[in-house]
Structure 1
């Protein structure tokens, strides 16, 4: 594969952005002033919350720089803005008020300056400003823009991420056909997530002086590999050594079929002076990602999976002594994933984020003893961790509250909210109670199931119930907050929500997590039925009005249960689900997933695991479908193609099953555009209300 020209331009004329310029570009999308009726969350209320993104603590630990994204439903747009406050939450200031997109804020120059990305000039570039928001200035002019950056500790250099072209364009091969739209494909991984792979991210390093960048170097010059890795890798996959002499980056140096079947990424060191690259994790066969140097530069910590091809393997925390090369498996005695981590200043301790029994908490890890000790507890999820002044600074959410920033005491885990970004909305809402219930499964194990009750729940009344099926498939049903699968909004519409942590979810040990692979139509489906059966026995649940919903693997679960539910449910809704496993094996892009979880290709007749998988594909049970079903899907979904949803809808129609389909031509595996999100929610409840509520108007057309 030939790497095309990168097309980088150096910044010649620094573009000054005055306070007046930044604040008079038309009315910017800002904090919502919504008034909530009846105290109930609606789709419009859901899209009114400010969404907290990056959180950066200043070098002197006195201030917090953070990003908040606001939504305007009418404009069908989002708008990130930047804020700063003291670490106790006082003196909060909004630094940017524009229609441009400001993101990725960072402290530089010892806290005397703030750097960030803005697309005000037409492409996403690095800008700098004073900590009070004044003196905004663009410092890069990189063709087609950048997607992330991080300055060296001495601020003399900057790393940034930019997409580069791969392969040869049709217009280069056939210059006489400038309007030809065809793509020529010679290998696998020609599409990924929601894009055709015509460009990939590379990491660049440049000198920084006098507010200008120069001497730009591609760390992977002429290499057709991603760094960071698609589809979700970002600046967290890169790191500077404290002395600024070494860059650590994450890459899976494979292409085509080799890339499609392997998860074997590595951590590479790039010597800034010589340009030499060294593979630091060679021989470690799974994902190795997210390097962080210790404060004194003597060690490297990173997240690592053991087995090649298994993307849901245990996410382990490793530390390497850079003088000796010795590796320590820090979480060896901790049977849970490491979701995020940060070094303590003592170079001996790390603070990490991990999900244990469907609640994501903060822990401390001692490198020498491998002792993992809990810091926090409670019914919530922590989503990030940073080092404050004797405290931890972390984002936290729950099923009843979106992300807010908290200050956490190291001694007792006491957490104090300091951002209050959404207090003005939350104080208008009445949330339903969330209950942690342990339910016995068919094989005699205990399964944590979240029950979310309608606001003002009355146990003397009866309610319809929705079984929520999780995607992933290996993604915990924790105390998550979602802008699509918001369980509190389901409850606010009068439904009791049943959300089981069925087999195949992390947070309950590796054995529980791994059981699902090769057993898609097996024990985890029994777990779902155990959960809904247990709740159906409650006097306040109307067992004649049960619904079932989910997305991705949860959508697969809906399709499977539609043919195997023994008339338990009265309505189904599946989003982005797998309907035909044989087709899915040849339609998806990340073949390592299909090979591991399905067991291999359907044509391998001697592979017992694979044959069992395909024998339990949902499409094989369509003859048993007897219940109304709605299907939604995005046509830009290259993980699970929209054809899966169309097949399911066509099958339902041909069988005479009441059915409806909602297709989004401009969405991928998610639903990201505000008005599409509102449409999804409205149709979601219109469908279930029609079939599960007394007097619901039945319309089979």
Structure 2
């Protein structure tokens, strides 16, 4: 980005360069990343892979090949990436960082599409190599371009898991594919190292019923390779995935795991399940220690509950996977640390673990000294980074931590936590969250501020002064509801602004101090709203009890929290005009819009927006992941029909009267399009002012830039018209002529 936006509009949001998490070299002096941009004038997307030199702050183009991806370091002297070919195959390229296109050479071609590269240095020029890709029923790699088309489109199923997220289930399954690379030295006559695949890729899950990564969102966080082998998570093959969340950690390892014999006829060691008594939920983030002997992972207690608390575990000896140590153990099994970690990294000496975890609407980084064998009490955790949302943390060779993060005004920040320089007794590091000049640091700042994609929001016309946070007493005694407040960049406390009340999805989710390209509060604020993003009962990051309290209470406690919040805003924020309020929500937030519409609170708003929301609770039986409503509504509909009916928005349509925009996409198999059509048909039948927007090629989210722009145009025009602000499309036309 070289030009500062005059105003943060949907076009600015959607055209802004999207930078991936940074991949540092071993000492953090150079950062490898990808960046993509979209042009509405040219209707094209451009992608590049680049390297940031931290010292000079200059960037170097590695490649602008649109089919290149998954760039990573091969040591510090070479870059490895994947190139997708038109025939469905994948080529592995290796080249020098400063002259990749001139020096690149093919390491080998893989016979199908793969991704999620993992490398591990085995020494003596050898590298363990792993990717994920679809396997056919016979265990060979799937290439969709070479599959013969059937003369019939019929699909026959004998189990309940027919489709997932946005696609129908097929007989093909994700698998982890292994090989080795050999690199003969670092440079040859100034050219790239000559690197090649030692063996053809081999399916590590061949002959098992296991699948990893787990769809639809599993990636590198679902498997890891180390000195002695592979550790991964997979759905329990004996359970119906539609009604169970249980996944198991498996380890396939041995002293000679990477020896050539496994590619000469011998099979890899059979995966051994890591059994944890009392923990029957989802397990994720398996991560080898640097020594290669230990691994850590996260696991939940409750089967069928995807938002249960993650608890960390360590296996000290991969040869004894049944001997598991739980960190922060408690007698009641809930764990002494009331946060749910999301990722794991090891310190170079294996003496510390680092977790990312949400806390009070932020995504922090924590440190803990793991227990030694025979000691079940972990030291810590201690906060290392507090502020914004940490999306990735990578430990460098010297123990420093490279951090990728975002905030409500920042779409990509690279920072360094200099643990190697930490004074004794210093435990807390704080990310820069103000709008001081890019090249200066706030007083006592202990993170090193490496690179901001938006210059602390200034390239968007945003600043930290627009962000505030408030609390109000909640529906449950002695609880408080936290909410983020985002104001217009030209905010004046002497003026009043209409309210945009944004309700998050989940429902076990939260508005965090983080960036979004779909629901970005600053886009609404720059239209002239004060945007308030509450985290009511059911939200994450405020303790597991607060999250769990929504079970059996979908239209109860959260609704009361929102009503109490509206009353608190009316009484305490003089710059908010609650007589000109709109409410918007997606997924569970969309459900809440339909619920609000049928109750007195709905009359407080000039207009509502429901995106992919629930109209009828029994419609949830068409969803792919039935465990979700079964858990949250305390059973199946035939087990507790009263509980399902109690929180059903369709039971209260007699009261529907507020103008409402309904958005629902055809590829949303989590909440089917009939939910949106039913809500819209009710509104139309009752003569309530309403609109319906659908995207046949989008799922639960709107991901394509042109669709995203239309989404913003329709939504902003709808709410602006109802609160007396100029329609967005008209203001844009007046600005550009």
RMSD: 2.5
* Structure 1 residue 224, shift from structure 2 partner: 4.6
Residues 1:440 and 2:440 are matched in the alignment: no
* Structure 1 residue 222, shift from structure 2 partner: 4.2
* Structure 1 residue 177, shift from structure 2 partner: 10
Residues 1:70 and 2:37 are matched in the alignment: yes
Check the 8 A contact 2:21/2:392 in 1, yes or no. no
SS of residue in 2 equivalent to 1:236? helix
Counterpart of 1:269 (choices 212, 232, 251) is 251
Residues 1:329 and 2:294 are matched in the alignment: no
Residues 1:202 and 2:234 are matched in the alignment: no
The answer for the alignment partner of 1:397 in structure 2 is 406
Residues 1:583 and 2:595 are matched in the alignment: no
1:280-299 deviations in Å (ceiling 9; x for gaps): 42244111112111111231
Check the 8 A contact 1:635/1:668 in 2, yes or no. yes
Counterpart of 2:558 (choices 507, 524, 527) is 524
SS of residue in 2 equivalent to 1:646? helix
Residues 1:488 and 2:453 are matched in the alignment: no
Residues 1:118 and 2:83 are matched in the alignment: yes
1:552-563 to 2 correspondences below 5 Å: 552-563=587-598
The answer for the alignment partner of 2:110 in structure 1 is 142
Counterpart of 2:415 (choices 400, 403, 406) is 406
1:96-495 to 2 correspondences below 5 Å: 96-98=63-65, 100-108=66-74, 110-119=75-84, 123=88, 124-134=90-100, 135-154=103-122, 155-165=126-136, 178-198=150-170, 199-209=172-182, 210-212=195-197, 214-241=199-226, 243=227, 245-254=228-237, 258-271=240-253, 272=257, 273=262, 274-283=267-276, 284-322=279-317, 325=321, 326-331=323-328, 332-368=335-371, 369-376=377-384, 378-388=386-396, 389-410=398-419, 411=422, 412-413=428-429, 414-423=446-455, 426-427=458-459, 429-431=461-463, 433-444=466-477, 445-495=479-529
Alpha-carbon distance change, 120 to 34 in structure 1, aligned in 2, over 3 angstroms? farther
Distance 2:107 2:484 in 1: 49
Distance 2:566 2:148 in 1: 62
* Structure 1 residue 277, shift from structure 2 partner: 2.0
Alpha-carbon distance change, 522 to 338 in structure 1, aligned in 2, over 3 angstroms? same
Check the 8 A contact 2:368/2:382 in 1, yes or no. no
Residues 1:36 and 2:5 are matched in the alignment: yes
The answer for the alignment partner of 1:599 in structure 2 is 634
* Structure 1 residue 87, shift from structure 2 partner: 4.8
Larger mean Cα displacement after TM superposition, 338-347 or 82-91: 82-91
1:483-536 deviations in Å (ceiling 9; x for gaps): 111001110001111111101111111100101122111101111111122112
SS of residue in 2 equivalent to 1:152? strand
Distance 1:335 1:89 in 2: 42
Alpha-carbon distance change, 570 to 238 in structure 1, aligned in 2, over 3 angstroms? same
1:218-248 deviations in Å (ceiling 9; x for gaps): 122244542111011112222112x2x3111
Counterpart of 2:539 (choices 505, 512, 520) is 505
Check the 8 A contact 1:342/1:387 in 2, yes or no. yes
Distance 2:497 2:308 in 1: 39
- Kindly tell me the number of residue pairs found equivalent between the two proteins: 648
Check the 8 A contact 1:115/1:128 in 2, yes or no. yes
1:446-494 deviations in Å (ceiling 9; x for gaps): 1111111122212222211011101011112110211111001110001
SS of residue in 1 equivalent to 2:591? helix
Distance 1:201 1:75 in 2: 36
* Structure 1 residue 541, shift from structure 2 partner: 1.8
State TM-score, norm by structure 1: 0.87
Counterpart of 2:673 (choices 621, 642, 654) is 642
Distance 2:475 2:236 in 1: 44
The answer for the alignment partner of 1:18 in structure 2 is none
Check the 8 A contact 2:474/2:481 in 1, yes or no. yes
Distance 1:183 1:76 in 2: 36
Distance 2:348 2:197 in 1: 32
In the alignment, structure 2 segments of 5+ residues that lack a partner are 140-146, 183-194, 329-334, 372-376, 423-427, 430-445, 729-737
Residues 1:674 and 2:697 are matched in the alignment: no
Larger mean Cα displacement after TM superposition, 505-514 or 121-130: 121-130
* Structure 1 residue 378, shift from structure 2 partner: 4.9
Check the 8 A contact 2:364/2:387 in 1, yes or no. no
* Structure 1 residue 308, shift from structure 2 partner: 1.2
1:85-100 to 2 correspondences below 5 Å: 85-88=52-55, 90-98=57-65, 100=66
Alpha-carbon distance change, 33 to 438 in structure 1, aligned in 2, over 3 angstroms? same
Check the 8 A contact 1:301/1:319 in 2, yes or no. yes
Check the 8 A contact 1:559/1:618 in 2, yes or no. yes
* Structure 1 residue 120, shift from structure 2 partner: 5.2
Distance 1:167 1:217 in 2: 13
Check the 8 A contact 1:498/1:532 in 2, yes or no. no
Distance 2:150 2:225 in 1: 43
Alpha-carbon distance change, 80 to 287 in structure 1, aligned in 2, over 3 angstroms? farther
* Structure 1 residue 52, shift from structure 2 partner: 2.1
SS of residue in 2 equivalent to 1:106? strand
1:618-697 to 2 correspondences below 5 Å: 618-693=649-724
* Structure 1 residue 547, shift from structure 2 partner: 0.7
1:551-595 deviations in Å (ceiling 9; x for gaps): 1111111111111134111110011111111011x1100122121
State TM-score, norm by structure 2: 0.83
Alpha-carbon distance change, 111 to 137 in structure 1, aligned in 2, over 3 angstroms? same
Distance 1:177 1:361 in 2: 49
Distance 1:376 1:457 in 2: 33
* Structure 1 residue 376, shift from structure 2 partner: 4.1
* Structure 1 residue 35, shift from structure 2 partner: 5.4
Alpha-carbon distance change, 51 to 694 in structure 1, aligned in 2, over 3 angstroms? closer
Larger mean Cα displacement after TM superposition, 85-94 or 295-304: 85-94
Distance 1:62 1:376 in 2: 21
In the alignment, structure 1 segments of 5+ residues that lack a partner are 1-31, 169-174
